[in-house]
């Protein structure tokens, strides 16, 4: 395995592991969600079932996506198309989520940590994927 393929696999696993940690939030009690929400300076946690439902669903999807990244990391050549798709859609998602974060009035640190981080990571995935593909042609 080339150094680019190894690095790509490592980064996919790191991101996948971080995303899989979101599975814990699926089972987080509502009171804990409210506490974190308030501590982040986002005000009172909304009443009603929709906020915890959405928080749990998004967490479950992050965990699912993390599992997909682990699968892709198992063979970066075989899953090249999937990795490219993840990177390209990741960039589009980063732009969308940045707009939504701004509209929601999230703190600037949140804005920087989410959208721009995902754009950079997606560009790195694409660059490494290209290096892996170039290595296959040699």
Q: In this model, does residue 138 exceed pLDDT 60?
A: no
| Overall number of domains in the chain | 1
Mean pLDDT of 119-136: 92
What pLDDT sits at residue 132?
93
The domain containing residue 60 runs over which residues?
3-137
What pLDDT sits at residue 19?
96
Give 42-89 pLDDT, tens digit per residue: 889 999 999 999 999 999 999 999 999 999 999 999 999 999 999 999
Q: How many angstroms separate the CA atoms of 79 and 37, rounded? A: 37
What pLDDT sits at residue 137?
67
For residue 132, what are its two tokens?
Answer: 């892996």
Mean pLDDT of the chain: 93
Sign of the Cα pseudo-torsion (13, 16, 22, 27, in order): negative
Q: How many angstroms separate the CA atoms of 114 and 35, rounded? A: 21
């Amino acid at each position: 395995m080339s150094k680019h393929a190894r690095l790509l696999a490592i980064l996919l696993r790191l991101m996948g592991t971080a995303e899989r940690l979101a599975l814990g939030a699926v089972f987080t009690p509502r009171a804990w969600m409210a506490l974190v929400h308030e501590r982040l300076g986002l005000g009172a946690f909304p009443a009603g079932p929709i906020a915890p439902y959405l928080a749990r669903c998004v967490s479950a999807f992050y965990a699912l996506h993390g599992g997909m990244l682990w699968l892709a990391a198992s063979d970066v050549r075989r899953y090249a198309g999937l990795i490219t798709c993840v990177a390209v859609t990741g960039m589009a998602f980063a732009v969308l989520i940045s707009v939504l974060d701004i509209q929601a009035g999230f703190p600037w640190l949140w804005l920087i940590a989410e959208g721009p981080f995902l754009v950079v990571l997606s560009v790195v995935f694409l660059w490494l994927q290209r290096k892996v593909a170039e290595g296959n042609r040699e």
